[in-house]
A = this chain, B = another copy of it.
Amino acid sequence: MIPNAYRSLHCNAVRPEHIGQNVTLSGWVNSARDHGGVIFIDLRDREGLTQVVFRPEENADVAALSHTLRDEDVLQITGRVEKRLTGTENAKLPTGEVEIVASELKILNKSDVLPFHLDRELSNEDMRMKYRYLDLRRERMNRNIRTRHKITNAARNYLDGEGFIEVETPILSNPTPEGARDFLVPARLSPSKFFALPQAPQQYKQLLMVAGLERYFQIARCFRDEDLRADRQPEFTQIDIEASFIEQNDIINLVEGLLASMFKAGQGVDIPLPFQRITYQEAMDRFGSDKPDTRYGNEIVDMADVFANSGFKIFRTTLENGGVVRAINAKGFAGITTGQMIRLNELAIQAGMKVKQLAFIKVERNEAGVLEYKSPLWKFFGEDEQKALIAKLNVEENDIVFFYAGSWDEACNILGRVRIEIANMMELTKGSKALNFLWVVDFPLLAFSPEDQSWVAVHHPFTRPKAEDVALLDAGEYAKVRAEAYDVVLNGYELGGGSIRIHESDLQAKMFSVLGVTPEEQELKFSHILEAFKFGAPPHGGLALGLDRISMLVSGEDSIREVIAFPKNNKACDLMTDSPTTVDFKQLRELYVQSTWKEKKKEEATATVQPVA
Contacts and interface: CB of A to CB of B under 8 A. Distances in A.
A192 B582 contact: yes
A183 B534 CA distance: 35
Given A193-B582, A580-B190, A612-B612, A587 B182 contact: yes
Interface string A153-184: 10011001011011111111111000001111
Contacts of A170: 235, 566, 568, 574, 579
A12 to B, nearest CB: 12
Nearest to A186: B184
* Copies of this chain, count: 2
Nearest to A593: B593
Interface string A106-140: 00111110100000000000000001111011000
A235 to B, nearest CB: 6
Contacts of A564: 168
A194 B4 contact: no
Interface in A210-235: 210-215, 221, 223, 225, 227-228, 234-235
Interface stretch (A357-365, A367-375, A488-496, A535-543): A535-543
Scoring A168, A504, A539 by chain B CB atoms within 10 A of each residue's CB, the highest score goes to: A168
Given A4-B250, A172-B223, A172-B235, A145 B213 contact: yes
Interface stretch (A200-208, A346-354, A446-454, A553-561): A200-208
Scoring A45, A195, A539 by chain B CB atoms within 10 A of each residue's CB, the highest score goes to: A195
Contact of A73 (B234, B536, B597): B536
Contacts of A133: 207-208, 210-211, 532, 535
A284 B13 CA distance: 45
A343 interface: no
A237 B169 CA distance: 11
- Of the four ranges (under 10, 10 to 19, 20 to 34, 35 or more), the interface on chain A belongs to 35 or more
A223 B171 contact: yes
A184 B183 contact: no
A475 interface: no
14 contacts: A28-B538, A45-B212, A72-B535, A109-B537, A134-B535, A157-B157, A173-B577, A184-B587, A184-B588, A189-B572, A194-B581, A593-B594, A607-B610, A608-B613
Interface of A: 1-2, 4-7, 26, 28, 44-46, 72-74, 76, 108-112, 114, 131-134, 136-137, 142, 145-146, 149, 152-153, 156-157, 160, 162-163, 165-175, 181-197, 203-204, 207-208, 210-215, 221, 223, 225, 227-228, 234-235, 237, 243, 245-247, 249-250, 253-254, 503-504, 527-528, 532, 534-539, 564-566, 568, 571-574, 576-583, 587-598, 606-608, 610-613
